[in-house]
């Protein structure tokens, strides 16, 4: 009998030995490529029983051409490179890996926020330039214990972020229209609407999935509501913030600073105004990473694929919202 096939469309790992071991233990054959376009994905994966993708597009054309696919798996939490509606119409379930790198991303979020609130970058630049002052550039920055630290979204990572912020004495708050009020109340987190989120936050962390509704969630109008000392952090999806509007807002001093690990286009374009915007702390999509998170991601994605080979349901099925 011919073995079922799991195709990895693309990957950035040094080895896929973990995936191969798990898939073969489930009776499957693993094939790995480095596809970039949907045409390349379809040619490589046409006869796959399960497809695992990292960055390659799984669009409607790819999904329509898959001849016997029983499942799509995304290496990661976000699924914006997968056409969920097309997958649902074709009866192909989609899985992500939402339970890895939670602590890593939350730690990175706090690191960006703390560096900007304590004005480490601008103070470091002054010292290197030969200027010595015992007060930082923005003297109106409140103490962390007097700040409202809010998240846009109230999922796994957002809750881990708020738990860390609470250790510094921050008042936790969040916006998430899909989470019931009683959940916020039980967690001791103040529930905000969108306008309150932007106008009342001292630190605002974007922790939403990227959808048609959330693209440019942080737009020019909403950024204009933020306090003059406020800090915006985005470690979720680049498209959540209108980055050109954000660069213009930083130039005007409202918000005061922004820490970004993700961007609308990656790598960040050479001439993008964020590169020269004041008080912008930029990292290159590294929030997810630790020596532990890489292996965890590979293992969990392969285990999801193997469930489908065995005729089981995914553990983490993504639904269309």
Task: Convert the pLDDT of each residue in 143-192 to its tens digit.
Answer: 999 999 999 999 999 999 999 999 999 999 999 999 999 999 999 999 99
Task: List pLDDT tens digits, range 270-282.
Answer: 999 999 999 999 9
Q: What is the pLDDT of residue 308?
A: 97
Phi/psi at 206 (nearest 5 deg)?
-85, 120
108 is catalytic: no
Are the CB atoms for 72 and 49 separated by under 8 Å? no
Q: Which residues contact 213 (CB under 8 A, 6 or more apart)?
A: none
Q: Is the pLDDT of residue 301 over 70?
A: yes
Q: What is the pLDDT of residue 132?
A: 98
For residues 31-50, give the mean pLDDT. 98
Query: Helix, strand, or coil here: 27?
Result: coil
Nearest-angstrom CA–CA distance, 121 and 104: 22
222 is catalytic: no
Are the CB atoms for 150 and 227 separated by under 8 Å? no
Q: Choose the catalytic residue: 46, 156, 285, 299.
A: 285
Q: Which residues contact 239 (CB under 8 A, 6 or more apart)?
A: 80, 210, 214, 215, 216, 264
Are the CB atoms for 55 and 34 separated by under 8 Å? no
Percent of residues, the chain, with pLDDT higher than 90: 98
Q: Is the pLDDT of residue 320 over 80?
A: no
Q: Choose the catalytic residue: 47, 266, 269, 312.
A: 266
Backbone Cα Rg of the chain: 21
Predicted TM-score of the model (pTM): 0.90
**Rounded to an integer, what is the distance from CA 54 to the centroid of its chain?**
13
Q: What is the pLDDT of residue 321?
A: 55
Task: List pLDDT tens digits, range 53-66.
Answer: 999 999 999 999 99
For residues 84-94, give the mean pLDDT. 97
For residues 284-303, give the mean pLDDT. 97
Q: What is the pLDDT of residue 186?
A: 97
Q: Choose the catalytic residue: 74, 159, 222, 237.
A: 237
Rounded to 10 deg, the angle between the 156-166 and 102-117 helix axes is 50
Residues of the chain with CATH 3.40.50.720: 5-100+291-309, 102-282
Query: Helix, strand, or coil here: 282?
Result: strand
Q: Is the pLDDT of residue 298 over 90?
A: yes
Q: What is the pLDDT of residue 319?
A: 80
264 is catalytic: no
CATH number (3.65.10.10, 3.40.50.720, 3.30.500.10, 3.40.1130.10) of 102-282 reads: 3.40.50.720
CATH number (3.40.50.720, 2.40.50.180, 3.50.50.60, 3.30.1490.20) of 5-100+291-309 reads: 3.40.50.720
Are the CB atoms for 107 and 81 separated by under 8 Å? no
Task: List pLDDT tens digits, range 184-214.
Answer: 999 999 999 999 999 999 999 999 999 999 9
For residues 97-121, give the mean pLDDT. 97
Per-chain mean pLDDT for the chain? 97
């Amino acid at each position: 009998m011919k073995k079922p096939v799991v195709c990895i469309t693309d990957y950035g790992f040094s080895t896929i030995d973990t995936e191969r071991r798990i898939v073969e233990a489930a009776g499957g054959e693993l094939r790995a490529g480095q596809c970039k376009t949907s045409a390349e994905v379809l040619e490589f994966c046409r006869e796959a029983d399960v497809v695992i993708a990292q960055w390659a597009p799984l669009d409607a054309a790819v999904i329509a051409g898959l001849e016997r696919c029983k499942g799509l798996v995304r290496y990661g939490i976000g699924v914006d490179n997968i056409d969920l509606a097309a997958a649902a119409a074709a009866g192909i379930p989609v899985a992500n890996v939402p339970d890895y790198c939670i602590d890593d991303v939350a730690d990175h979020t706090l690191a960006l926020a703390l560096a900007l609130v304590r004005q480490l970058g601008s103070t470091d630049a002054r010292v290197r330039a030969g200027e010595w002052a015992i007060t930082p550039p923005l003297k109106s920055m409140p103490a962390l214990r007097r700040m409202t630290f809010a998240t846009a979204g109230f999922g796994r990572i957002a809750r881990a972020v708020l738990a860390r912020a609470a250790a510094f004495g921050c008042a936790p708050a969040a916006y998430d229209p899909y989470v019931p009020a009683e959940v916020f109340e039980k967690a001791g987190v103040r529930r905000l609407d969108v306008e309150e989120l932007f106008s009342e936050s001292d630190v605002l962390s974007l922790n939403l999935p990227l959808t048609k509704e959330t693209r440019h969630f942080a737009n020019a109008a909403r950024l204009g509501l933020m306090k003059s000392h406020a800090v915006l952090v985005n470690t979720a999806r680049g498209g959540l913030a209108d980055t050109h509007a954000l660069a213009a807002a930083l130039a005007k001093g409202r918000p005061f600073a922004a820490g970004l690990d993700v961007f609308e286009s990656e790598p960040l374009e050479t001439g993008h105004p964020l590169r020269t915007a004041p008080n912008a702390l930029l990292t290159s999509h590294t929030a997810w990473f630790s020596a532990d998170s890489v292996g965890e991601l590979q293992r969990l994605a392969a285990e999801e694929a193997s469930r489908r080979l065995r005729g089981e349901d995914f553990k983490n099925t993504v639904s269309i919202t």
